[in-house]
Amino acid sequence: MDRNNRRRPLADVLAELVATARGDRKASLVVVNAKLVNVCTAEILEGMAVGVQEGRIAYVGRKPEKLIGPQTRVVDAAGRYLAPGFLDGHCHIESTQLTVTQFARAVLPLGTTGGFFDAHEISNVLGLKGLRLMLEEARRTPLAAYMQVASCVPSTSPELETSGASFGPEEVAEAFGWGPDMIGLGEVMNFPGVVYGDAVMLGEIEAALRAGRVADGHFTWPSHDERLIAYAASGITGDHECVTKEDVAERIRLGMYAKMRRGSAWHDVEETIKAHTELGLDPRRMMLVTDDRSVESLVDEGHMNFVIRNAIRQGVKPVTAIQMATINTAERFGVVRDVGTITPGSCADMVLLDGHLADVNVAMTICAGEVVAEKGRMVVDLEPAAYPEEVVRSVRLAGTPKPEDFVIAAPVAAGTLTARVIRVQENHVETKAEQRPVEVRGGQVDLAATAGGLCKIAVLERHHGTGGRSVALVEGIGFGRPAALAMTVAHDSHNLLVIGNDDALMARAAARAAELQGGAVIALDDGGAELPLPIAGLLSDAPFEQVAEQSRRLSEALQDAGCRLNYAFMTLSLLALVVIPELRLSDKGLVQITAEGISRVPLFVE
């Protein structure tokens, strides 16, 4: 059933809700004997009942008898907590490598009933067609799924990287015409473009504001930099690139919503939450989000239930933490009339919690008045989506990768040169720009003769078959044996990213990833592992349980090669994201991000 048939506008059903609240019409579902988590007042109300009609809440009170008829489903909370369904205020579904349907299957039992999803990964590959596919599939799930129009396709400019599509103000305006669930403009990563008046970036923000939508941010210059004020002056009112308590403080002081991120590999809540717990700032403009979570972490840790629990462990009161993932999020996007609270007229998205509130132990999930999950399992079936041929055949290389494609030519025949090196930081999105001595033999960089455990990193253009390719150096991978990783998940342009210390293995892994029409492949001298991702080279068409197992085998193979980074795949997939400091690689070459701006830099230091 299309979600729109379950989530009808309040104006269409208000008469039925009023009649039910009076007791003249029996409710379709009633939850009784609940401890209601009232996020409007930050209090717990004992002995409460909630009545549902037409997918919305008709009644919140203590006299449910008048609502119950022969056809009413009665859920006895038996003194357990009843909270609003959890909302993820910034999430890229593609980062899970799951389809929207399988993502819903994974997170609904965990209490996530909705989210605000920025599909800029698939948009960078397939353009508006990819965004529309995600939206239409989301509408067929129980989730209150709001989509954002990708603002940066590509993330910066064609001079710095090659993507599969390009968005401007016209594309943004067109997408907002698809319906009110196209909720806003996705994270504006080209923050220098906004600050310095780039016509395209300002035009996209203008298109969002004229459509009555909000614009989300992505500002990675230091928060005390006054250019943040110029960024906020553009109308951008939310930002998830907060890594310190000061980042949070500066944003909310400017009227923005600060999104505190706990992804699989981005552990920012521990520091950012101190804006509330140490600085004592009002939390109503603070939100908890995931940004990127792998399918493994969904299975092993959870989704928003885990993020809320983690915030509570940092000293946040349980009700306050729940507010940060419900009402705060809904208010930020202007949809608090529909989601984020348990109040009359709101959509009946609720979670029943076992045990102590701080445990955030989800026992039941209700979406639009329908019980969809109990005891950690779905109790309704979701139909898989179908994808057209061009969506599952999106990898177009100029030719089969060969070992010589990964040779780094040097400007001297032999000797020692100083090279720029990307240094990976575990559990952080930022890299460090380092300079390291490298040995040259026969006019090529010789890794075997170079100390420090460096690897090669390459990006091969895969959208248009141009043959574009660049090769550089990276440290912090940890490979202790010949190994290579190739993947078409390479934020945000999602070209073919290859990391390794052996040219032949790099070629083998890259060729296999192309043969799979997308995915992640680890090549070792005695085997390896692979995760096929045929949908746009980003998503699997398999059930989430199977994808999680394939992803786990990939992680084990990486560990076997010596790479023991926490959720390494997630961290490594960002090494081509040329809008995050300090040094990245695209198909056009090395890109350095500083306080002065973004620019290409040569591999060798003069």
pLDDT in tens, 14-65: 999 999 999 999 999 999 999 999 999 999 999 999 999 999 999 999 999 9
Evaluate if residue 187 carries a pLDDT over 90.
yes
Whether the Cβ atoms of residue 113 and residue 85 lie closer than 8 Å to each other: yes
The three-class DSSP label of residue 184 is: strand
pLDDT in tens, 342-399: 999 999 999 999 999 999 999 999 999 999 999 999 999 999 999 999 999 999 999 9
Dist CA 494 CA 535 (whole Å): 12
Dist CA 310 CA 462 (whole Å): 39
Residue 384 DSSP code: P
Over pLDDT 70: what percentage of the chain?
99
Residue 398 DSSP code: S
What is the residue whose two structure tokens read 């045990």?
355
Backbone torsions φ then ψ of 85, nearest 5 degrees: -60, 145
Evaluate if residue 298 carries a pLDDT over 50.
yes
In this structure, is the dihedral angle defined by the CA atoms of residues 102, 96, 487 and 467, taken in order, positive or negative?
A: positive
pLDDT in tens, 194-211: 999 999 999 999 999 999
Counting Cβ atoms within 10 Å, is residue 515 exposed (0-12), middle (13-18) or buried (19+)? middle
Positions of E strands within 200-314: 214-217, 236-239, 257-261, 286-289
Angle at 210 between CA 129 and CA 115, to 5 degrees: 55
Q: In what order do the strands lie in the sheet with 597-601?
A: 583-586, 589-594, 597-601
Evaluate if residue 1 carries a pLDDT over 50.
no
Rounded average pLDDT over 125-133: 97
Dist CA 487 CA 498 (whole Å): 7
pLDDT in tens, 415-432: 999 999 999 999 888 899
Evaluate if residue 492 carries a pLDDT over 70.
yes
Whether the Cβ atoms of residue 53 and residue 25 lie closer than 8 Å to each other: yes
Whether the Cβ atoms of residue 126 and residue 391 lie closer than 8 Å to each other: yes
Evaluate if residue 4 carries a pLDDT over 50.
no
Domain ranges of the chain: 83-386, 391-600
At residue 266 the predicted structure's pLDDT band, cuts being 50, 70 and 90, is: confident
pLDDT at position 579 = 87
What is the residue whose two structure tokens read 């009170």?
61
Phi-psi region of 332 (alpha: psi -120 to 50; beta: other; left: phi over 0): alpha
pLDDT at position 122 = 97
Q: Tokens representing 343? A: 């109040």
Q: Tokens representing 507? A: 């070629």
Please list, residue by residue across 192-216, b when 16 or more beta carbons sit within 10 angstroms of its beta carbon and e when fewer do.
bbbbeeeebbbebbbbbeebebbbb
Dist CA 248 CA 241 (whole Å): 9
The helix-helix angle for 169-176 and 128-138 (nearest 10°) equals 20
At residue 517 the predicted structure's pLDDT band, cuts being 50, 70 and 90, is: very high
**Amino acid in the structure at residue 509:** A
Dist CA 309 CA 594 (whole Å): 35
The DSSP H or E segment spanning 354 is strand 350-354
At residue 5 the predicted structure's pLDDT band, cuts being 50, 70 and 90, is: low
Dist CA 343 CA 332 (whole Å): 18
Mean pLDDT taken over the chain:
96
CA distances from 73 to 56, 57, 70, 95, 380 (A): 15, 14, 8, 37, 16
Show Cβ contacts of residue 518 under 8 Å, excluding neighbours closer than 6 positions. 394, 395, 488, 532, 533, 534, 535, 536, 537, 538
* Radius of gyration over every alpha carbon of the chain, rounded to an integer in angstroms: 25
pLDDT at position 3 = 46
The helix-helix angle for 100-107 and 128-138 (nearest 10°) equals 40
Positions of E strands within 413-572: 415-423, 432-441, 444-445, 455-460, 469-475, 483-487, 496-500, 519-524, 527-532
Paired sense of beta strands 144-149 and 182-188, if any: parallel
Number of H helices, E strands in the chain: 19, 29
At residue 567 the predicted structure's pLDDT band, cuts being 50, 70 and 90, is: confident
At residue 156 the predicted structure's pLDDT band, cuts being 50, 70 and 90, is: confident
Paired sense of beta strands 589-594 and 583-586, if any: antiparallel
The helix-helix angle for 544-561 and 100-107 (nearest 10°) equals 90
- Going by C-alpha positions, the residue among 371, 258, 291 that lies closest to residue 580 is 291
Whether the Cβ atoms of residue 371 and residue 130 lie closer than 8 Å to each other: no
- Going by C-alpha positions, the residue among 212, 223, 158, 156 that lies closest to residue 185 is 212
pLDDT in tens, 168-185: 999 999 999 999 999 999
- For the domain spanning 83-386, the CATH number is 3.20.20.140
Whether the Cβ atoms of residue 436 and residue 475 lie closer than 8 Å to each other: yes
Provide the β-strand partners of residue 188: 217
